């Protein structure tokens, strides 16, 4: 059994590694209390982040140049893809794996042993992709979204990666939130009011109020009967090492909350028994954590100024910061350029937060 790969957790990260290990002909055991749980979140990624092996059917919509609004409108010169969640889950098939529908309670990657709550023991190379639990110490992302029928709209708004305009009725000085708008298949648009990161993050009731205020103000018909998407997950706390992968292994980008594409593109490396955590990747992760500290330290009214500066950076620098998992040179260049372009009053806030050390 020692040649076997034991994967704990069948979220996007665990399923991706299991799928790729099976494709390599390895013996795979997967452990999850709910292995057949159907995924429902709206997943998206930049087109250039997804690995070539992913079945193209997993992509529902490609938006060649999404829009970002901070103080002004920016056309992001980078294709963005909204995934078909059901097709993605199907594409990451684990047919051929031994499936243990149980909760792993002892996961010892060093010794290569996993014990489940019912006492089953699996031995082999362990990948711990059990995700991240909630904790008041961990900054979270929250969002409240509704699916509006496209045929109910007089004209269709653009795909909005982030819209920080202040027409959401938030109290002055309250933590900010932005609007995310993407096509969700041929019938629906998803409008989602999002708290990028907060410790604590904004509550869903407040985000629902803000979304309602914003959409009504923009003439988007809201009936109150639309299907709803609720989002809440930690954006910090995962750490590389000891076989951990996905959110548990530190792959969530704290500036976006995204990890799905990062897990997909690292799946082959992990399936092969190697680690994506090169020295460069560890350094980048440290810089991203520093970036999160800066975000959390921004005065609410300055958040849009910060993103105005970020979206004003050349696309290669934006890409390096958002997706260059091991691109230390690019990440540093992006951070330096951002820092230099910030108004002096914000440089001080950012510098203090960046050198302030991690609280997580």
Which residue in the set 17, 26, 32, 74 belongs to the binding site for ligand FAD (CB under 6 A)? 32
> Among 7, 17, 22, 44, which residue sits at the site for ligand FAD (rule: CB under 6 A)?
44
Q: How many CB atoms lie within 10 A of CB 309?
A: 19
Integer Cα distance of 30 and 97 in angstroms: 7
Q: Which CB atom, from 213 or from 232, has the smaller least distance to ligand FAD? A: 232
| Binding of residue 247 to ligand FAD (CB under 6 A) | yes
Helical ranges in the chain per DSSP H: 12-23, 85-91, 204-217, 260-271, 279-297, 303-311, 315-323, 328-341, 344-355
Query: Is 21 within 8 Å of 95 (Cβ atoms)?
Result: no
Select 127 or 346, whichever has its Cβ closest to ligand FAD.
127
Please check whether residue 342 is in contact with residue 349, taking contact to mean a CB–CB distance below 8 angstroms: no
Between CA 289 and CA 296 the distance in angstroms is 11
The answer to whether the peptide bond before residue 216 is cis (omega within 30 degrees of 0) is no
Structure tokens at 354: 């960046």
Scan residues 95-114 and list those touching ligand FAD (CB under 6 A): 103-104
Query: How many angstroms separate the CA atoms of 281 and 41, rounded?
Result: 27
User: Does residue 254 touch ligand FAD according to CB under 6 A?
Assistant: no
Distance between CA 84 and CA 331 in Å, rounded? 30
Q: Is 258 in the site for ligand FAD (CB under 6 A)?
A: yes
Instruction: State yes or no: residue 34 binds ligand FAD (CB under 6 A).
Output: yes
Q: Kindly tell me which of 258 and 309 has the beta carbon lying closer to ligand FAD.
A: 258
Asked if 11 touches ligand FAD (CB under 6 A), the answer is yes
Q: How far is the CB of 239 from ligand FAD (least distance, A)?
A: 13
List the one residue from 7, 9, 144, 197 that touches ligand FAD (CB under 6 A): 9
Q: Does 17 bind ligand FAD (CB under 6 A)?
A: no
Asked if 42 is part of the footprint of ligand FAD (rule: CB under 6 A), the reply reads yes
Binding region for ligand FAD (CB under 6 A): 8-14, 31-34, 41-44, 103-104, 129-131, 229, 231, 233, 246-248, 252, 257-261
């Amino acid at each position: 059994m020692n040649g076997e790969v034991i994967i704990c957790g069948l979220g996007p990260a665990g399923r991706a590694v299991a799928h790729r290990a099976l494709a390599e002909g390895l013996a795979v055991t997967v452990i999850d209390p709910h292995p057949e749980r159907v995924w429902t979140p709206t997943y998206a990624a930049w087109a250039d982040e997804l690995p070539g092996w992913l079945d193209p059917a997993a992509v529902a919509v490609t938006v060649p140049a999404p829009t970002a609004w901070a103080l002004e409108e920016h056309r992001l010169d980078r294709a963005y893809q909204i995934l078909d969640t059901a097709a993605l889950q199907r594409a990451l098939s684990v047919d051929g794996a031994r499936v243990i529908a149980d909760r792993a309670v002892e996961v010892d990657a060093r010794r290569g042993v996993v014990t489940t709550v019912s006492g089953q023991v699996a031995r082999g190379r362990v990948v711990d992709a059990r995700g991240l639990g909630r904790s008041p110490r961990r900054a979270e992302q929250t969002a409240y979204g509704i699916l509006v029928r496209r045929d109910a709209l007089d004209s269709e708004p653009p795909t909005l990666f982030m819209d920080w305009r202040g027409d959401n009725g938030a109290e002055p000085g309250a933590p900010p939130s932005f609007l995310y708008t993407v096509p969700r298949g041929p019938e629906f648009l998803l409008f989602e009011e999002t708290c990028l990161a907060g410790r604590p993050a904004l509550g869903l009731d407040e985000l629902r109020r803000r979304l309602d205020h914003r959409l009504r103000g923009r003439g988007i018909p809201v009936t109150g009967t639309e299907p709803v998407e609720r989002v809440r997950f930690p954006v910090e706390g995962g750490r590389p090492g000891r076989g951990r992968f996905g959110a548990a292994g530190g792959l969530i980008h704290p500036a976006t909350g995204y990890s799905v594409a990062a897990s997909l593109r690292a799946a082959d490396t992990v399936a092969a028994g190697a680690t994506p955590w090169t020295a460069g990747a560890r350094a980048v992760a440290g810089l991203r954590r520093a970036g999160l500290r800066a975000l959390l330290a921004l005065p609410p009214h300055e958040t849009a100024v910060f993103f105005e500066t970020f979206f004003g950076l050349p696309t290669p620098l934006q890409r390096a910061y958002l997706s260059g998992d091991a691109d230390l040179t690019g990440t540093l260049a992006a951070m330096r350029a951002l820092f230099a372009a910030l108004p002096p009053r914000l440089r001080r806030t950012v510098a203090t937060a960046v050198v302030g050390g991690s609280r997580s």
